[in-house]
Amino acid sequence: MTECQNTECQRKEQQWLRHSERQYRKIEDQDKKQNLLISALYDSIIQQREEEIKELKEKVKELTGKRESKEGEDDRRNEENGKTCGKCKKKSKEHIECKVCELNLCEKCSMMNKTEMNEQKQQIDQMWICVECDHQQWEKENENEKRLQKEKEEPKMREPRIEEIRKEEEPTVEELDLMKRFGKLIRNDERY
Q: Answer whether residue 53 is part of any domain.
A: no
Where does the pLDDT of residue 64 fall: very low under 50, low under 70, confident under 90, or very high at 90 and above? confident
- One domain, residues 168 and 108: no
Q: What share of the chain is helix, strand, coil (3-state, %, to 5)?
A: 70, 5, 25
Task: Answer whether residue 191 shows pLDDT above 60.
Answer: no
More confident residue, 178 or 91: 178
Contact 83, 104 (CB under 8 A): yes
- One domain, residues 136 and 169: no
What is the H or E stretch that residue 164 is in?
helix 155-169
- One domain, residues 174 and 109: no
The stretch 70-92 carries a mean pLDDT of: 63
Task: Answer whether residue 44 shows pLDDT above 80.
Answer: yes
The stretch 36-45 carries a mean pLDDT of: 93
CA distance 95 to 128: 12
Query: pTM above the 0.75 mark?
Result: no
Contact 94, 105 (CB under 8 A): no
Task: Answer whether residue 29 shows pLDDT above 90.
Answer: yes
The separation between the first and the last C-alpha atoms of the chain, rounded to the nearest angstrom, is: 158
The stretch 149-160 carries a mean pLDDT of: 65
